[in-house]
Structure 1
Amino acid sequence: MANDPDARTYGDAAEELILPSQLEEARIITIPESAYYIPMFISQEEEERLLQKVCYSIQP
């Protein structure tokens, strides 16, 4: 993917997001077909906030 001329990059050099030109390139065969893994898609802060919301929502 790093050598893919069609790949798109976003962000500055410190936290560069490289998106595959085809979503199929992000497929992981050990997870359901509808799931894809795109590294660095959200920031560490966004990840922590989402995890807090999930944990809070499943409490009785």
Structure 2
Amino acid sequence: MRCDLKAGSSGGPHLLDFDHNTKTGTVVGVNSSTRTTDAGPVEDAAPLDSTAMLLYARAQVG
């Protein structure tokens, strides 16, 4: 996705189905790096998969 995020944006969420009224959505990725292409800067994120969900569930249990 084309963006103009600066240093410090790493760790921010990629959201799916974001609702502007409730300010909620589903986190589907986490910003990890920015690179520049011919079209401009692009923010990259690895998608969250079942392994990430398992880690999250285990962290919730403690």
Q: Work out which structure has the larger RCO, using CA pairs closer than 8 Å and 6 or more positions apart in sequence.
A: 2
Q: Which has the higher strand share?
A: 2
Name the larger-Rg structure.
1
Q: Which has the higher helix share?
A: 1
